[in-house]
Structure 1
Amino acid sequence: MTTGEGDRERLERAEAQLAAIASTTHDLLDVEDATAMLQRIVDRVHDLAGADVTYLSAYDAPTDQLFVRAVRGSETGRFLGMRVPAGVGVASEVVRTRAARSVADYEQIGALPRDPEIDAIVRAEGIHAILGAPLLAGGEVLGVLFAANRAARRFDDDDAALLTAFASHAAIVLRIAAVLDELTASRREADAARERAERLAAETLSASRLHGELTELIVDGGGPDDVVAALATALQRPVWAVGVQGEAIWGTAPVPEAGRGDLARAVVRSAGTGRAAVLERGVARAAIAVQAAGERIGALLVGGGTPLSDLQRRTLERSAQILALVTMQRSAVSDAEERVRGELVLDLLESADPAAAVRRARQRGLAVEDPWCAVAVRVAEGDRARAAARVRQLRGALVATVPEGCAVLLPGGDAQAAADRTGEVLGPVPALVVADAVATLGGAGEGMRGAGRAARLLRGLGLERATTTAASLGPYAAMFDDDGGRARAFVDAAIGGLIAWDAHRRTDLVATLAALLAAQGSSVAAARALQLHVSTVKQRAARIRAVLGEGWDEPEPRFRVEVAVRLHLALRALERTHPTA
């Protein structure tokens, strides 16, 4: 090639390089995808420099390492993503000197440090000659642009100038990408901050509305279930209320079974700190104990797919405090109401002016002209408070505690039904329950006195549990002036021999005697009632006469025997229904 041809070729090459640089400069005005732009620069260098492999590595200053981000001409595909450790090879030398560096043959690299993994990649590609130019921006190294050949050669100043020019463009791309990343991050952070602010504003507004709603609830006498419902609406989350045993209370549905142990432990933690306890898993995300006067009365559990914000937790904690306040308020009102109702009961039963007591009852909306039942409940002293609390659960009940137990007034005129209802609600509490029906509430005092006489008779006779009516025991109570001891002595004197005979010989002479008395002495009628043969009844009648004496069926002794039999059988029936504790 002549000198003129060589100069023309260099000029043409220079023009092509200038055109490529100009084109790349124009591209810099519209950098959107840094990776694609870096790959375009690598492609142009590859074509202009006539390199076998061209690649660009980004520099990470904190770790002093380079990472390949764009490559052209690789046959193994191992260049992309390759990591160059600190101080290794031509790349680290370029970073250190901030100037273009080259080696004519990588195998003759000399004193430059080597890395076995990079050596393996270079050998696999068959690379020998390497030229690297730094990507500089404001004196800071952002990376290195490389041109490599598979044959040994020396790169001249034109090669270094070309690579350096494109390296400068690549540095601009990386700088623009960094600025765009910062702008994107700032925009995202701003968006996130705006979302947080909007969410906080919404939560604050919701909390403010909830506070107003709860204030109105307290003023209007709302209950705990109203507070729970308002909280669920404000948080837009499911809310459960549980009692001290984990049961659903205050109008909420039962808590799902899953995670019950974690929930219970969270409530205990909350009770100790007075703050909401956060749960990382399970149906509930937070739990707070509801405590009144230092005593835990329940807990609130809040569900949802995401953790509660700080404001939502504070809202939950304030709601728990308000719930405790409402509960205490209701409890105080209920206690005051029970005291008033108890005082009204005592007025109706003991007032020297029953008409005035009835007027007060009418003013309280009670149906004073309807039938009522007076129920005497006799319990041990230690059980009185528990018994009174249980009896108050009866619909329409008026309850007062008295020295012997409870005095109860129930609407309705069925004494046995009133006694049964009272006995059922008392449950395991040992008690004597005697009811007496009265035509109007004004007769409550007389009815309670009759029920009380019958109850004292039963207690005197040794019974601790029974449910009956005053009518069934009234004649005996009146006859013996409700003295159980005298009644028992009377029964023993009249038919004690027969009772002892039955107990020792497992016979049933007392029942046979009752059947004969009911049949006016007819053995045939008594046998029919007892479903026995007539001869059996006659044999038993002879034994009865032998035990009681020949004259037992004379009018006066017969009357005493019949009273004793009826009282004895009544007591046996009550004992079978409620065995003595």
Structure 2
Amino acid sequence: MSDAIPVDVVIGLLHAASAEPEIDVDALISKLSLPEQDAMRIGYELRHLRATSQRWRRRGQELAALFSSARELAQLRDVDELLGRLVERAHDLMGTDVTYLSEYDAETSELRVRTTLGTVAPSFLGLRVPPGMGLASQVVERRRPFWTSKYATMTQAPHDSGIDAAVNAEGLVSLLGVPLLAGEEVIGVLFAANRVEHAFSPDEISLLSAFADHAAVVLQTARLLARTQQSADETRRAYGELARHVEAMERASEVHSDLTSLVLEGGEATDVATALGRALRCQVTILDLDRLDETVAEAVDLSRRSGRCTPAGEGEYVVAVLAGPTLLGALLLQQGEVEFGPVERRTAERAAQITALLNLKQDAMLEAEQRVGSDLLADMLSEDADRRADIGARARARGIRLDELRSLVVVSVPAELRREAVRALRRTAGLVGEHADRIVALTAEPDPATASTLVHTTVGRTVRSPVLTVGAGVGDTTEDLRTEVDAVSACLRILPALGMSDAAVTADEYLPYTALFGPGEKRVAAFVRRVIGPVLDWDAERSAKLLPTLAAYLSNRMSPVATARALHLHKNTVLQRLDRTAELLGADWQEPDRLFRITVAIRLAHLTKSP
């Protein structure tokens, strides 16, 4: 019993073996007075027991942190946030300088750094690792951890210049990579790295691997949930789109039914606009093509060329109303509570087609009615007395009251535009037709000037070309209307000689010219020959220009200087021509009476050259 060890000493030794702060084991053993060999054995076993205890304690703490991290990560659903927290937790567990995660792309077999912690080089995030290169590729291919204590001298995997540059820029020396596995599928690689040379212990490798196993499950679950949510969102969007499409088709069917009824019942363009606006729950306006701002005008032109409903501004759409290449009008749609999609735009295009059909139908009816009037007008202007017989009675039989027509307007437009001009006038004038390369219109407007202006506006807006119109009052239209038309036409012929190409006038404004150039007038040419015949002959024989010089001289108040400036001639040239004129007409040609007659003759000579 003399070799027995006191209980207090045994308890002290046990405390020393399990204590967190180190207790001096050798001091405790020295109190036992044991042989040296026994004391060494007891000291070794106590230290081994202490190391094992500390290792299991640390292991327990690591496992507790591991499970705590796994629980926390399992609560995350956003993949990007989860990756960040995953790297953050791994960084805390391993205590390394840098921790990062590379995501694996199965299609390209590439790895891309998605999330980092502890890095300083901006080029590291997003780094791509080509297939078969670097430590990461060994982890992916073999599906197990790989590490190196000194990356620069690593021989386990081939080096890549881009990866080496990024690692050097970050200053990394030792690296440990473990796979993130979802079954047999690698979804990424988790890395722990130090900026000093370090040999990773089995415990460190095991800890990071265990964390990676938990993280892979959580990450895969989050991805599946994200895909499920995305699929659910896509399904909801698809159902929403399907519902909207069904609703749009129902609206389109409603519009189709309404428009069909309008066609059968003889509706008008305004009815189409009302039906379209009611179905699409928007405002529809029939555009006046003469009053469009630049943006809308461009949209109308684009719709005309494409035949499609075209955006015209914020929440506005335009669709042209076409009959072949002819633009009949346009519809402006201002979007309301219904969003305009393909179905709505196609519905608007169908409505425009129906509008064109109704317009053509109305035009055909109007043209048929006006053709009767046009035939009647042709009879009124005929030289055949039989065709003019009983014209009043025949007009009344067709529902036309000739006694209500008060103004006559003759129109001059290019031949290729005449038909379109007649068509436009048939909507507004009483009787319209063609006569002697001119358009003749009889209207109920009592004021000839107003009638001429209205006709000019209507034709000009339609043909978009210069138009000349001359109006005159009419008395009894059942009498010989042809004489009045010829008199107005005579006035129309002299307007271009007066420098007019686009105007609305009355015959009374140019009565002197009309009297001189009226039908059957033969004395004008004789008067001109009698007054300035020698000048005309001189110019004709010598291709001279005495007549234009005299006209400019009289127009510039008989000033040789002003005349020379107007004709771009030297003053002496003008004086020489005036001297020649005096030789031909006589020295008294500038006397008041003779000068008046010469002035009139020159003006008439100029007008007789006009068509």
In which range does the TM-score fall when normalised by the shorter chain? 0.5 to 0.7
Q: Which residue does the alignment assign to 1:321?
A: 353
1:20 aligns with 2:65: yes
Query: How many angstroms apart in 1 are the aligned matches of 2:347 and 2:234?
Result: 27
TM-score after normalising by structure 1: 0.62
Q: Which residue does the alignment assign to 1:297?
A: 327
Q: Which residue does the alignment assign to 2:599?
A: none
Query: How many angstroms apart in 1 are the aligned matches of 2:116 and 2:292?
Result: 63
Amino acid of the structure 1 residue aligned with 2:359: T
Instruction: State which of 307, 326, 332 in structure 1 corresponds to 2:364.
Output: 332
Describe how 1:375-386 pairs up with structure 2 within 5 A.
Answer: none
Query: How many angstroms apart in 2 are the aligned matches of 1:285 and 1:227?
Result: 18
Q: Which residue does the alignment assign to 1:254?
A: 292
Query: How many angstroms apart in 2 are the aligned matches of 1:125 and 1:71?
Result: 12
Instruction: State which of 234, 238, 247 in structure 2 corresponds to 1:189.
Output: 234
Give the secondary structure class of the aligned counterpart of 1:58. strand
After superposing the two structures, state which structure 1 stretch, 169-178 or 387-396, moved more: 387-396
Query: How many angstroms apart in 1 are the aligned matches of 2:406 and 2:265?
Result: 35
1:148 aligns with 2:196: no
Shift of 1:287: 7.8
Query: How many angstroms apart in 1 are the aligned matches of 2:414 and 2:155?
Result: 105
Q: Please, which runs of 5 or more residues in structure 2 have no aligned partner?
A: 1-45, 382-386, 461-465, 496-505, 536-590, 595-601
Deviations 1:295-335 (A, max 9, x none): 53357587889997432443344234323312221221111
Deviations 1:358-385 (A, max 9, x none): 7647xx485x8x7654859799997996
Q: Which residue does the alignment assign to 2:132?
A: 87
Shift of 1:37: 3.9
Shift of 1:12: 0.5
Shift of 1:408: 5.9
1:170 aligns with 2:215: yes
Query: How many angstroms apart in 1 are the aligned matches of 2:104 and 2:526?
Result: 117
Deviations 1:388-426 (A, max 9, x none): 928946966234667998876544777x76996799689
1:157 aligns with 2:202: yes
1:452 aligns with 2:482: yes
Deviations 1:70-102 (A, max 9, x none): 444446676544433322332211111111222
Instruction: State which of 170, 173, 176 in structure 2 corresponds to 1:131.
Output: 176
1:119 aligns with 2:164: yes
Give the secondary structure class of the aligned counterpart of 1:2. helix
Deviations 1:413-462 (A, max 9, x none): 77x76996799689988999875414xxxxx42xx22x435667999x99
Give the secondary structure class of the aligned counterpart of 2:138. helix
The 3 A distance-change label for structure 1 pair 314 and 212 is: same
Q: Please, which runs of 5 or more residues in structure 1 have no aligned partner?
A: 243-247, 439-443, 477-482, 507-538, 544-571
Q: Which residue does the alignment assign to 1:534?
A: none
The 3 A distance-change label for structure 1 pair 173 and 69 is: farther
Q: Is the 8 A contact 1:56 1:146 kept in 2?
A: yes
Q: Which residue does the alignment assign to 2:499?
A: none
Q: Is the 8 A contact 1:384 1:401 kept in 2?
A: no
Shift of 1:129: 3.4
Query: How many angstroms apart in 1 are the aligned matches of 2:389 and 2:61?
Result: 126
Q: Is the 8 A contact 2:73 2:85 kept in 1?
A: no
Deviations 1:9-29 (A, max 9, x none): 012112112212332343354
After superposing the two structures, state which structure 1 stretch, 181-190 or 62-71, moved more: 62-71
Q: Which residue does the alignment assign to 2:22?
A: none
Shift of 1:254: 0.9
Shift of 1:223: 3.8
Q: Which residue does the alignment assign to 1:102?
A: 147
Shift of 1:59: 1.9
Shift of 1:117: 4.1
Query: How many angstroms apart in 2 are the aligned matches of 1:384 and 1:29?
Result: 81
Give the secondary structure class of the aligned counterpart of 1:113. coil
Amino acid of the structure 1 residue aligned with 2:430: A
Query: How many angstroms apart in 2 are the aligned matches of 1:61 and 1:295?
Result: 56
Q: Which residue does the alignment assign to 1:389?
A: 422
After superposing the two structures, state which structure 1 stretch, 160-169 or 371-380, moved more: 371-380
Q: Which residue does the alignment assign to 2:253?
A: 208
Q: Is the 8 A contact 2:300 2:320 kept in 1?
A: no
Query: How many angstroms apart in 1 are the aligned matches of 2:488 and 2:185?
Result: 106
Describe how 1:510-521 pairs up with structure 2 within 5 A.
Answer: none
Describe how 1:512-531 pairs up with structure 2 within 5 A.
Answer: none
Q: Is the 8 A contact 1:388 1:399 kept in 2?
A: no
Q: Is the 8 A contact 1:432 1:455 kept in 2?
A: no
RMSD after superposition:
5.5
Describe how 1:159-558 pairs up with structure 2 within 5 A.
Answer: 159-224=204-269, 227=272, 249=289, 253-256=291-294, 260=298, 264=301, 267-268=304-305, 270=306, 276=308, 290-292=321-323, 294-298=324-328, 300=330, 309-342=341-374, 357=394, 360=397, 364=399, 366=401, 372-373=405-406, 389=422, 392=425, 397-399=430-432, 409-411=442-444, 436-438=474-476, 444-445=477-478, 448-449=479-480, 451-453=481-483, 488=522
Query: How many angstroms apart in 1 are the aligned matches of 2:273 and 2:400?
Result: 32
After superposing the two structures, state which structure 1 stretch, 344-353 or 92-101, moved more: 344-353
The 3 A distance-change label for structure 1 pair 125 and 255 is: closer
Q: Is the 8 A contact 2:174 2:199 kept in 1?
A: yes
The 3 A distance-change label for structure 1 pair 578 and 433 is: farther
Q: Which residue does the alignment assign to 2:55?
A: 10
Q: Is the 8 A contact 2:148 2:176 kept in 1?
A: yes
Give the secondary structure class of the aligned counterpart of 1:218. helix
Query: How many angstroms apart in 1 are the aligned matches of 2:519 and 2:122?
Result: 110
After superposing the two structures, state which structure 1 stretch, 349-358 or 97-106, moved more: 349-358
Query: How many angstroms apart in 1 are the aligned matches of 2:52 and 2:397?
Result: 127
Amino acid of the structure 2 residue aligned with 1:318: R
The 3 A distance-change label for structure 1 pair 64 and 220 is: same
TM-score after normalising by structure 2: 0.60
Amino acid of the structure 2 residue aligned with 1:311: V
The 3 A distance-change label for structure 1 pair 111 and 580 is: closer
Query: How many angstroms apart in 1 are the aligned matches of 2:400 and 2:488?
Result: 35
Shift of 1:61: 2.1
Amino acid of the structure 2 residue aligned with 1:173: V
Q: Is the 8 A contact 1:457 1:484 kept in 2?
A: yes
Deviations 1:89-125 (A, max 9, x none): 3221111111122223334422421234433444455
Amino acid of the structure 1 residue aligned with 2:350: R
Shift of 1:49: 3.8
Deviations 1:523-555 (A, max 9, x none): xxxxxxxxxxxxxxxx999x9xxxxxxxxxxxx
Query: How many angstroms apart in 1 are the aligned matches of 2:285 and 2:132?
Result: 63
Shift of 1:338: 0.7
Shift of 1:167: 0.7
Amino acid of the structure 2 residue aligned with 1:58: E
The 3 A distance-change label for structure 1 pair 413 and 9 is: closer
Q: Is the 8 A contact 1:377 1:408 kept in 2?
A: yes
Amino acid of the structure 2 residue aligned with 1:118: I
Query: How many angstroms apart in 1 are the aligned matches of 2:102 and 2:442?
Result: 95
Amino acid of the structure 2 residue aligned with 1:178: R
Q: Is the 8 A contact 2:425 2:455 kept in 1?
A: no
Query: How many angstroms apart in 2 are the aligned matches of 1:89 and 1:378?
Result: 90
Amino acid of the structure 1 residue aligned with 2:475: A
Q: Percent identity?
A: 32
Query: How many angstroms apart in 2 are the aligned matches of 1:376 and 1:86?
Result: 89
